[in-house]
A and B are shown apart, each in its own frame.
Chain A
């Protein structure tokens, strides 16, 4: 059985890669992908912790972590739909998916 430390460590590494991707990359598609990576890192942590505590405080079996994962996947799908829509609309207007090209809303 894979120890929990490994699961959490992998989750943390994936999350950090996602963060670095969001902060450093200019391409908005890549940024969206990095966000997905962060979400999935969180999913991994959820299932890991659910395996650590499979029983809830009332003594019955608990699937809270796994249910959270399902919710996060749903949200991620919706977010990608909206995000890609924005990216496409922006590309049509500006011929670019570089995030630094959309900085009009400022002082």
Chain B
């Protein structure tokens, strides 16, 4: 591309956290002596904060480029690998790219990441379960930040996949951080394996994309710009299915890539790993399993928006999966009793919202909600971590209550988070959720009214379970043991201070995307900052025009249903706290179904996990591995021993004259051969 600006500063954005991670790794693995904590903290937090500063510089440079020129900064480092010749030449470069979309993502990752790194210092401070655990934790966190930045800044799909796998690895390492507890190790493995299922689809999607480029005779460039440029060549291709129908190729590719997003972003049917991922330390839940990594799928869909906007079937599937996940996870969150599990299902649900938007073509709305969700969900998780610290690692909300007196600052910021996620007026979630609902309502997708209704219903449930959580934790009389409650106090400033900027962002972050209807009131054009900023990245799409009255009506409906959820929670968990137990008893069957997460884990266990384990054990392990492979190796060895060693060793008789005789016979034979 001619109008890309080269910028060598970009490489330092991912490189700094990587250097810190490598330093920690060497200190732990090679030097094996504990590093002073001040150095660990300075390196880890400093590298991520510096990345944030560089991201800001890159962002400012991007703003300096006039909007009519193409706003892209690239940093091509070197050719990573290449294969083939001529028109089928395939190269993958190690190249970084900052355009409006990845700039937003990089700012979120490094900005929220910096705050969470600072928070982790306080959270992990009292962790003495492991000798070098403190440094190990920051090693993984830095490595994660590096991988996430590679994912976000990658200039091509292959490099993006590298980051994609890297964040999966770090997620696994951090979920199982306290690996001496067997359950944590199990949860880490579960996350990794479920993610691998999705990554498999992602890989197939990449292969399919490039294979079709080659068969269409266009250069199989892997850079996003190349793909977008050559995309027209395969846009109209179809492939025949075994059952006689034909599918459009882009739909198939889009769906394969979306399988990866389903795994990474925890959508139906691969969402099961995310709630279990809460086994990790709370800062990990905030950074990886709420703010950044799980949004990678949404980012990928938006990154390839030119592909998805040309793939209506894939987009429709994305929208429906997103909507159903949003509703499904929200209902599970109602009956959870673990403070982090509630937030985890809430994350799954909010990610569903983002996919709903992306599937309906509202890529700006998806990214908008991604950003605001990063603010308020990181805040909620970090607030939950603060509660957990105050309660001495108690996570059961039935044993909390009344904490408003003990940890007032945490209560205030938690209130801000709950306010934002519920979509109450003028907080961040209000604007982003409204935009998604409006997108769904106006989308050119069959059944978009149903999508809108599901989204609206979910908004109400979201408000209900968030305020249920808030009331159970902070209000009323305490249900905690007396000494625990007496000793509950606000954690160290390392923990509480990062909450304040996040709370601020949760409240005002929505101003990034004020809908035009409010702007029109004051006569301002283009009031939606994020939309102006990202607009050039998206493919041209037919406008979703909604009448002004309809839009206002929808906003009113969303606020009304959120307030209804709040009111129900207020009634059940604040005014009449004895009611929920009676309702649960009345609807015991339904309650058990929801509280047990619809028995999906049990279903997967029975249908997939256990048959697979049995097959692996009986056929693959005992049959193939032990009997076939080991049998062949050991059998060959004993055959050699029997025939070669047993027979040939007799030649070594120990009698020198025998050797002389053999030598003579051999010499004679050679002489005979030469002289004959």
- A residues within 8 Å of B by Cβ? 19, 22-24, 99-100, 102-107
Contact = CB atoms under 8 A, between A and B. Distances in A.
Contacts of A107: 649-650, 652-654
B660 A103 contact: no
B603 interface: no
Contacts of B656: 99, 102-103
Contacts of B657: 22-24, 99-100
Interface of B: 649-650, 652-657, 660-661, 664
B664 A103 contact: no
Given A99-B655, A103-B656, A107-B652, 17 more contacts: A22-B657, A22-B660, A23-B657, A23-B660, A24-B657, A100-B655, A102-B654, A102-B656, A103-B653, A103-B654, A103-B655, A104-B654, A105-B652, A106-B652, A106-B653, A107-B650, A107-B654
Contacts of B649: 107
B664 A23 contact: yes
12 contacts: A22-B657, A24-B657, A99-B656, A100-B655, A102-B656, A103-B655, A106-B653, A106-B654, A106-B655, A107-B650, A107-B653, A107-B654
Nearest to A100: B655
A106 B660 CA distance: 15
A101 to B, nearest CB: 11
Contacts of A19: 664
A107 B655 CA distance: 11
Contacts of B650: 107
Contacts of B655: 99-100, 103, 106
Contacts of A22: 657, 660
Contacts of B654: 102-107
A94 B607 CA distance: 78
A98 to B, nearest CB: 11
Nearest to A99: B656
Contacts of B664: 19, 23
Contacts of A102: 654, 656
Contacts of A104: 654
B661 A23 contact: yes
A103 B660 CA distance: 14
A83 B174 CA distance: 73
Nearest to B661: A23
A100 B658 CA distance: 10
Contacts of A100: 655, 657
B668 to A, nearest CB: 10
Contacts of B652: 105-107
9 pairs of A and B residues whose beta carbons are closest in the complex: A106-B654, A103-B654, A107-B649, A107-B652, A106-B652, A103-B655, A105-B654, A23-B661, A106-B653
Contacts of A23: 657, 660-661, 664
B167 to A, nearest CB: 61
Contacts of A24: 657
A23 B657 CA distance: 5
Contacts of A106: 652-655
A99 B654 CA distance: 10
A22 B660 CA distance: 8
A104 B654 CA distance: 6
A103 B656 CA distance: 8
A29 B660 CA distance: 16
A99 to B, nearest CB: 6
Nearest to B649: A107
A24 B655 CA distance: 12
B31 to A, nearest CB: 50
